[in-house]
Amino acid sequence: MAASIVVMGVAGSGKSSLGAAVAADAGLPLVEGDDFHPPGNRQKMSAGVPLSDADRVDWLATLGEQLRTHRDGLVLTCSALKRAYRDTLRAACPGLRFVFLDISRDDAQRRVAGRGAAHFFSTDLVDSQLATLESPVGEPHVLRVGALAPLADQRREVSTWLQKA
């Protein structure tokens, strides 16, 4: 199986933008994890209700299946907030790499608020996500990237890291 990469972090960290750039650079398909949330999860998040571990079980299983079926690799955007969530994804795809977009609360809040009403994610959930986040720094195959760095700099950093891996 080719290398797959998860671009992770809390809402507003820039997962979709960096994920699309990394996928283009690596010639891999992009899978947006949010596209696989069931309607009940989306309704909860729109209402500002945090998802529980139980809410995420089927979603993570579906994302794991995406990783398994893309044998030539893919770039997946997914919050992957807890070690247990990342381990579920790792079990589906040995050697999985994670790019962690690190962002402050204030910057994440500002970015989420700037999305407007068209996005399903409520700004009320940023604090919940930050409280849930178990930093992946120090775990195997993880690169920490500053979420506020210019996208071009983030791309270079990820590309260099992937070439060394």
pLDDT at 123: 67
> How confident is the prediction for the chain on average, in pLDDT?
91
**How many residues appear in the chain?**
165
pLDDT of residue 100: 98
CATH of residue 61's domain is 3.40.50.300
Decide if pLDDT at 161 tops 70: yes
Q: How many helices (H) and strands (E) does the chain have?
A: 7, 5
Query: Is residue 22 within 8 Å of residue 99, measured between CB atoms?
Result: yes
pTM of the model: 0.92
The residue segments making up the domain with residue 65 are 5-164
pLDDT for 46 equals 78
| Closest CA relative to residue 154, chosen from 34, 7, 3 | 7
Cα–Cα distance, 149 to 122 (Å, whole number): 24
In degrees, rounded to 5, the angle at the alpha carbon of residue 136 between the alpha carbons of residues 134 and 139 is 135
In the chain, how many domains are there?
A: 1
The per-residue pLDDT for 1 is 42
Q: What is the pLDDT of residues 108-144, one digit of tens each?
A: 988 888 765 555 566 678 888 999 999 999 999 999 9
Residue 50: what pLDDT? 85
pLDDT of residue 115: 65
Mean pLDDT of the 39-48 span:
84
Share of the chain above pLDDT 90, in %: 75
Output the pLDDT for position 114. 72
